[in-house]
A and B are shown apart, each in its own frame.
Chain A
């Protein structure tokens, strides 16, 4: 793992919570959507908050894909989950909301999880993956860990 790759994982952590918060803001403006009028969801995409949220989520998706090209899904997962910590910290230091002890405990657990995973290998190398790129990797029985 290089410094640049850690930066990509950091961006994965930050971009998703910003995008989700913007989506929430947009949907609260629109109000409840009836199951009989699902086309409202498509109309919602053109509103500024939802559009902004989508742009942030596209940026998240690009960095997420990049990370998945050199790391396991279970290695990248803690980075995406760290977004919950980012939301809580934004609420505390930007919105000046009160954070309870329970919430700090949750933040500690998620941060600890990120610590556990980043100490280990980032990628499971499957045998013959380079030689046979097309078949489903789920069918390859032997797997070994490598540090990248």
Chain B
């Protein structure tokens, strides 16, 4: 009984780590890409090398990648303990909700009713697909 409770708590912590790190990563990277601008336009002006350079020299992007790397290793750790069918859908659906909230708060995106409805549908949909 105690082992089951410990396992459930462990799953919650592992999924929580993935979600928090992924949300930080997504928001920082989205913010960096907004700061850099349209990559297609940059590529036209400065070539592929110029576009890559613009991305990898952006501090916000590098912070975002670090957060995504943390999320990635948290995912690997979680996959070695729990089932794919639990870890990926649970973390994915929660990340959609936290990303939508973070995009509204930090990126000032125009998250209208349509996007909130989409986030809700995705969240429920991912849980249903996992069953």
Contact = CB atoms under 8 A, between A and B. Distances in A.
Interface residues of A, number: 61
B9 interface: no
A143 B38 CA distance: 18
A36 interface: no
Contact of A72 (B88, B109, B128): B109
Given A84-B126, A84-B129, A112-B121, A133 B37 contact: yes
Contacts of B103: 72-74
Given A74-B109, A138-B107, A117 B114 contact: yes
A81 B110 CA distance: 20
Given A69-B40, A103-B128, A106-B127, A113 B80 contact: no
Interface residues of B, number: 54
Contact of B29 (A65, A106, A124): A65
B111 A74 contact: yes
| A interface: dominant SS | helix
A77 B98 CA distance: 11
A75 B5 CA distance: 38
Interface string A111-148: 01110110111001010010001101110110111000
A124 B126 CA distance: 26
A68 interface: yes
B63 interface: no
Nearest to B125: A109
B89 to A, nearest CB: 7
B122 interface: yes
B8 interface: no
Nearest to A143: B108
A68 B30 contact: yes
B129 A106 contact: yes
Nearest to A73: B30
> Interface centre among B36, B81, B99, B108, by most A CB within 10 Å?
B108
Contacts of A50: 76
Interface in A44-87: 44, 50, 57, 65-66, 68-70, 72-75, 77-78, 81, 84-85, 87
20 contacts: A28-B79, A31-B80, A65-B33, A66-B40, A68-B30, A69-B40, A70-B39, A73-B26, A74-B99, A78-B118, A81-B125, A103-B128, A117-B114, A120-B114, A120-B115, A134-B35, A137-B107, A138-B31, A140-B108, A144-B110
